[in-house]
Amino acid sequence: MKRFLIALFLFSNPALAESFQGVQPENFAEWFHIGNSSGYGSVLCVQWAGAGDLTLERAKYYRDGSMRRYKREGARAAEIFVAGFNEGISSVQNLEEQLNKCEQLKIKTDRN
């Protein structure tokens, strides 16, 4: 029941439907992976640009490792990962000005 209510909320919220670089998740699993990769993007951004715990090279290494894992699942999975990851960075950039340099961590696509 809880899953159903979460999915109902997500699919009925037009603001969420527009927020992932033109990628519309089609099922619960895709929503889950968008959320997961979004959180991952924001954490890497904060660890690199905010806290200074990572170098840019190390943050890109972690990002690229996750991207390779999603690519093995297919083009759609990779597209979901990129949309969520970049959205996570965009979201956290709204919190602090120093996090604006996280643009360098975003994954470049035809959409951005």
Query: Can you give the pLDDT at residue 8?
Result: 42
Q: Model confidence over 34-64: pLDDT tens digits?
A: 989 999 999 999 999 888 889 999 999 999 9
For residue 96, what are the domain limits?
28-105
1 inside domain? no
60 inside domain? yes
97 inside domain? yes
10 inside domain? no
55 inside domain? yes
| Secondary structure (H, E, C), the chain | CHHHHHHHHHHHCHHHHCCCCCCCCCCHHHHHHHHHHHHHHHHHHHHHHHCCCCCHHHHHHHHHHHHHHHHHCCHHHHHHHHHHHHHHHHHHHCCCHHHHHHHHHCCCCCCC
93 inside domain? yes
55 vs 11, more confident: 55
3 inside domain? no
State how many domains the chain has: 1
18 vs 64, more confident: 64
112 inside domain? no
